[in-house]
Structure 1
Amino acid sequence: MQLTLIVPELVWPEPDDRQTLDAVAAPGLNALLARSRRTRRPPQSLEATLADAFGQPVGTPYGAFRLLGETLAAQLAVEDAYWVCADPVHLRFHQERIILADSGSIGVELAEAQALAGELNRYFGDVGTFHVASADRWYLQLAGTTRLGEFDVPPLSAVAGRRVERQLPETAQTGWLRKLLNEAQMVMHGHAVNAERQASGRPPINSLWLWGAGALPPRGDSTQDGASSGMFDGVWSTQPLALGLARAAGIPTHVVPRDLDTLLAHAAPGTHHLVVLDELLGPVHYEDGDAYEAALNALETRWFAPLRKALARGRVTRLRLEASTAYALLAWDSGRADQWKLWQRPQTLAALAHDLAQGER
């Protein structure tokens, strides 16, 4: 079996935070990486990494593909509309700058999401329809033939917890959308949901992050062809975008297996599978070193240590491990012979983080 493993935020983004990095003991991962061939590219989002894995071009309509991976998709004509991710956020001023917090840090509840989206639909029904797939993932379905042209907005995962310079592109085609967003913020500000949140000391849900605009490519387009995706025989993920990209390409999707042994029990020899392990995403985004340590130790036990042995024994014939990190997009490729290069000395994650911060390849 060949395995492509995507593990976003594998390396803690603060190389000088020795308390977090030194607390992680991952000898299996350290040896696995030391005996693999590493490549380094400029940093990019998890969403872009997933799009690359499926052979998608620049400008991938993330909203449409992500929606295709939602349970909600069964109730909608996803292929016949133009979609925008409209995820709920909290904006606040800090030292004359705007800082964005996503739902993971402000705790949006599903009932709150549905109430706010319902109010937005009452105000903006002529523009489009807001759909709530989960408390933190909303979608705007544009009415009629409205299109946004070039829509260069980073995914929410790339801006959460960071300073925001602008929310939307300054183009003629998005002028009406900037106006809509301003009006939507006023509607959300005055809603009872936010009055209740503020009364209980919680930050209001006072804006939307609009990104990933576009429509699905027509069926038969090469970007929807399973062959362009690297010919995965199965995709295992909880990420709706990964599931949507797989479904568009006609690739079977599955829940993430508990560990490598479970995957090997279900994957036939000679097949190629994609597994997305996103357990480190939240701890890194919310700067929770203890949660990062716990999640990485669990991955070490269930995946990394067993993978090193499975490669050495030929149960996994080829491994590609990809990690979008603050330093770079990193990829490690390994086969059976590589894992017998015992002279390649393992490097700790602390040492790896230091080298990456220094720009070493």
Structure 2
Amino acid sequence: MPYNHGMAHITLVLPFALPIPEFAPDLVRALAPNAPALGALLSRTSSYARVAVDDTVRALPHEQWLARALGLLEAGRPALAAAAMRGRGIEPDGGTWFIVNPAHIEIARTHLLMADLRNIRLSEPDSRALFESARPYFEEAGHALAWGDAQTWFMRADDWAALDTATPDAAVGMDLTDWMPAGAHAAAFRRLQNEVQILWHSHPVNAEREARRLPPVNAFWLWGAADAARSRAPRAPALAAFDAAPWVDALADTPVTDLPAFVAGLDRDTILVCGSAAASAIGADWGIWIAQMGQLEAALFAPILKALLDNRVRSVSLVLSHRDAHAACTTNALAQRKFWRRPTLDRLL
């Protein structure tokens, strides 16, 4: 597609690209020699803000930001299910729908923990088998279950609309006591969860997974409630996704496989969610995190900076997050001429 020089604005949403405060000085020191373009984008800016998370919402800062940008924030909660369904070619037939993610929950010494959904590696045939086995249990409880993809299913539960749920990335690695669905219908959720857990405990899919040393899929995670009529704001920017969570893929207009080619073809205002740093940050594997941020320097930050300086994009915003805050800044070609501002990664601190 042809693009209009200088007309497009791109927002890079980078979950977990903001290092956690206790490790930030060492991580920034290690990353800095390999990220000059990121330093320029962060330092030579026309605006900058750091915003603490709204801890009344059980969603991470970048998830709240993205839901708001797309017009999918309802009473402070990401209301994503209906829009994600449409992204998977399903028209919700009225009522309230939730996102359902097959999950692995393990018993730690004193509490329950949910594994990072990125590490489950659930194939489509295995997911289909688990889906079909569980569907009668959902339907018997009065809840239609719809297939989206291997990681993403959808459930209708009109009377659960007020259930207070958490996003999976907000809950991962945390004591689940504080993150399970809460509210008037929480007990009904727990009953359904228990029935499905018993069903899946001896399911052939899990027997085979355990033989391959993969974590069993022994639970589901429920979140993202939205009225069927809820859709993205008409004037919301286009959404692109690279290495992102499945729900972002479901919402995205453009799946990205080649970042430099995506930047070269940018022709309209776009939000790009790039989740490459998420898994390593969630797993506290900081060596991998540094390596992945270095790869993004070559594949994304340097091409974006060059496009900006060549007047092929109008402006660039960055939204970087960790669990407790997000940092947002905007730069343009004029701001990049502020040569007296030495490019640094200090704004990651």
TM range (shorter): 0.7 to 0.9
Q: State yes or no: 1:139 paired with 2:154.
A: yes
Contact 1:79 1:215 in 2 (8 A): no
Q: Distance in 2 between matches of 1:258 and 1:93?
A: 39
Q: Distance in 2 between matches of 1:38 and 1:153?
A: 31
Deviations 1:145-204 (CA, angstroms, capped at 9, x unpaired): x32132221110111222212454442234322211122211122322223333444332
Q: What letter is aligned with 2:79?
A: P
- Residue matched to 1:296: 293
Q: What letter is aligned with 1:177?
A: F
With structure 1 as the length reference, what TM-score do the two structures score?
0.80
- Which of these residues, 43, 52, 58, is aligned with residue 42 of structure 1? 52
- Please report how far the alpha carbon of residue 211 of structure 1 lies from its aligned counterpart in structure 2 after TM superposition: 0.9
Q: State yes or no: 1:2 paired with 2:14.
A: no
Q: Distance in 1 between matches of 2:303 and 2:123?
A: 38
Contact 2:206 2:217 in 1 (8 A): yes
Structure 1 53/79 Cα, relative in aligned 2: closer, same or farther at 3 Å?
farther
Structure 1 54/17 Cα, relative in aligned 2: closer, same or farther at 3 Å?
closer
Q: State yes or no: 1:333 paired with 2:330.
A: yes
- Which of these residues, 162, 171, 174, is aligned with residue 150 of structure 1? 162
Contact 2:314 2:332 in 1 (8 A): yes
- Which of these residues, 181, 193, 199, is aligned with residue 193 of structure 2? 181
- Residue matched to 2:79: 61
Contact 1:257 1:263 in 2 (8 A): no
Q: Distance in 2 between matches of 1:14 and 1:189?
A: 40
Q: State yes or no: 1:120 paired with 2:134.
A: yes
Deviations 1:226-249 (CA, angstroms, capped at 9, x unpaired): 23x2xx3x3322556456657xxx
Q: Distance in 2 between matches of 1:35 and 1:55?
A: 29
Query: Taking every aligned residue pair, what percent have the same amino acid on both sides?
Result: 25
Q: What letter is aligned with 1:328?
A: A
Residue 176 of structure 2 aligns to a residue whose secondary structure is coil
Q: Distance in 2 between matches of 1:175 and 1:106?
A: 27
- Please report how far the alpha carbon of residue 14 of structure 1 lies from its aligned counterpart in structure 2 after TM superposition: 6.2
Residue 324 of structure 1 aligns to a residue whose secondary structure is strand
Q: Distance in 2 between matches of 1:170 and 1:225?
A: 28
- Residue matched to 2:209: 197
Q: Distance in 2 between matches of 1:112 and 1:87?
A: 14
Deviations 1:28-64 (CA, angstroms, capped at 9, x unpaired): 1012201123201123343322112123332342222
- Please report how far the alpha carbon of residue 320 of structure 1 lies from its aligned counterpart in structure 2 after TM superposition: 1.4
Query: What is the correspondence of 1:276-355 to structure 2 with a 5 Å cutoff?
Result: 276-348=273-345, 351-353=346-348, 355=349
With structure 2 as the length reference, what TM-score do the two structures score?
0.82
Structure 1 59/339 Cα, relative in aligned 2: closer, same or farther at 3 Å?
same
- Residue matched to 2:124: 110
Q: Distance in 1 between matches of 2:284 and 2:314?
A: 36
- Residue matched to 1:28: 37
- Residue matched to 1:52: 68
Across the aligned residues of Structure 1 and Structure 2, the Cα RMSD in angstroms comes to 2.7
Structure 1 95/21 Cα, relative in aligned 2: closer, same or farther at 3 Å?
farther
Greater shift in the superposed pair: 331-340 or 311-320: 311-320
Structure 1 residue ranges, 4+ long, deviating more than 6 angstroms after superposition: none
Unaligned runs of 5+ in 1: 247-252, 356-361
How many pairs does the alignment contain? 328
